[in-house]
Amino acid sequence: MALEAGLLEILACPACHAPLREETASEETPELLCESQSCGLAYPVRDGIPVLLVDEARRPA
């Protein structure tokens, strides 16, 4: 399920305030990835709603 077109334009990483981009980690697990080289956190999207909590984010390997 893709996010609304304008939503990504207003969202930012809560940890570093960098832009986010949508990516699918697995077949059914969409995530928003921080575009900052130093941060790079991945935030889950559950039922079409981004969970922008640093405690819920994962750090990609």
Residue at 32 is within a domain = yes
Number of domains in the chain: 1
Cα 6 from Cα 25, distance rounded (Å): 22
Which pTM was predicted? Answer: 0.84
Scored b (16 or more CB within 10 A) or e, 9-44 reads eebbbebeebebeeeeeeeeebbbbbeeeebbbbbb
Residue at 52 is within a domain = yes
Residue at 50 is within a domain = yes
Residue at 44 is within a domain = yes
| pLDDT for residue 1 is more than 60 | no
Residue at 30 is within a domain = yes
| C-alpha dist (Å) from residue 6 to 3, 11, 39, 58 | 8, 9, 23, 24
Residue at 11 is within a domain = yes
Please give the residue range of the domain that contains residue 33.
7-56
Measured in whole angstroms, the distance separating CA 33 from the mean position of its chain's CA atoms is: 4
How high is the pLDDT of residue 7? 83
Residue at 2 is within a domain = no
pLDDT for 9-59, tens place per residue? 899 999 999 999 998 766 678 899 999 999 999 999 988 889 999 999 999
